[in-house]
């Protein structure tokens, strides 16, 4: 099984789509999620996201991502419940109350964030970073340095995660127990690990910068890449469906 945000080869429709079409469709899908507050519509989009993950054999990473986003969105949901008073009163608070509307809004936030995240992260599992960079430069004419910066940031995330995992394993071998104690103790144990991670990150970044300069980074342009990225019929069809989802979300928002 691949690590976080690592490309997984395949022959599914998502794998064969134009990288720009994939990015555009995923972005439009996320826009549709944030343009609607209809819980049923958002649940349908969430189901569509998992269906897309299943078609390219990425169900396990999608479920893992959904769990991570769910944990993060719970924090926002709790804040929303405590600060938004609407609907029938369930619990009285000194500054307001928790109502049925508050719970519904919090649930909507959780479903919206999970539904919007799955297609966006799925793009990086089914597309090579080089293809994303080159396609954005050749098709959208984005300056190469900006496209390279974006994809390099995504590329370094799993590398830094692996570095942190190695550092934690080394500390565990020395007798440090990260699983024991409460959240405060875990944070206190994690803070000192940021120093070796920072040193390792600076070294990797410096090595990457030197390698890029040696390979003529400043000379790269639209005509530098040899590979072409033409749009196929299914690319246009998928983007049309994504636009239709945005239109449906906006329409539901106006009606409601």
Confidence of residue 187 (pLDDT cuts 50, 70, 90): confident
Count the alpha carbons within 13 Å of 185 in the hemisphere toward its beta carbon: 7
pLDDT tens digits for 132-155? 888 888 888 878 778 777 777 777
Which H/E stretch holds residue 89?
A: strand 89-93
Is 1's pLDDT higher than 50? no
Please give the average per-residue pLDDT across 162-173, as a whole number. Answer: 79
> Tell me, what's the pLDDT at 225?
63
> Tell me, what's the pLDDT at 221?
61
User: Taking Cα atoms as reference points, which of 234, 252, 256, 237 lies closest to residue 44?
Assistant: 252
Residue 109: partners with Cβ closer than 8 Å, 6 or more residues away: 73, 76, 77, 80
> Tell me, what's the pLDDT at 50?
92
pLDDT tens digits for 55-86? 888 888 888 888 888 888 888 888 888 887 77
Report the 10 Å Cβ neighbour count for 107.
17
CA distances (Å), origin 172, targets 101, 135, 180, 232: 46, 43, 12, 51
Report the 10 Å Cβ neighbour count for 231.
13
């Amino acid at each position: 099984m691949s690590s976080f945000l690592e490309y997984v080869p395949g022959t599914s429709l998502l794998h064969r789509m134009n990288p720009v079409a994939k990015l555009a469709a995923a972005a439009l899908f996320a826009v549709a999620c944030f343009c609607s507050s209809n819980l049923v519509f958002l649940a349908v989009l969430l189901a569509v996201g998992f269906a897309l993950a299943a078609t390219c054999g990425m169900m396990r990473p999608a479920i893992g991502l959904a769990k991570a986003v769910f944990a993060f969105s719970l924090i926002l949901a709790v804040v929303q419940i405590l600060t938004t008073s609407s609907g029938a009163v369930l619990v009285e608070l000194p500054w307001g109350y928790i109502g049925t509307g508050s719970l519904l809004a919090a649930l909507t936030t959780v479903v919206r964030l999970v539904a919007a995240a799955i297609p966006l992260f799925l793009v990086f599992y089914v597309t090579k970073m080089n293809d994303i960079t080159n396609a954005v430069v050749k098709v959208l004419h984005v300056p190469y340095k900006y496209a390279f910066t974006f994809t390099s940031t995504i590329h370094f995330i799993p590398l830094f995660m692996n570095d942190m995992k190695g550092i934690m394993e080394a500390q565990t071998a020395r007798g440090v127990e990260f699983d024991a104690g409460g959240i405060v103790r875990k944070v206190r144990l994690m803070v000192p690990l940021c120093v070796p991670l920072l040193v390792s990150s600076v070294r990797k970044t410096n090595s990457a910068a030197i390698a890029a300069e040696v390979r003529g980074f400043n000379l790269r342009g639209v005509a530098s890449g040899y590979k072409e990225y033409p749009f196929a019929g299914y690319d246009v069809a998928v983007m049309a469906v994504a636009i239709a989802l945005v239109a449906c979300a906006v329409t539901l928002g106006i009606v409601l």
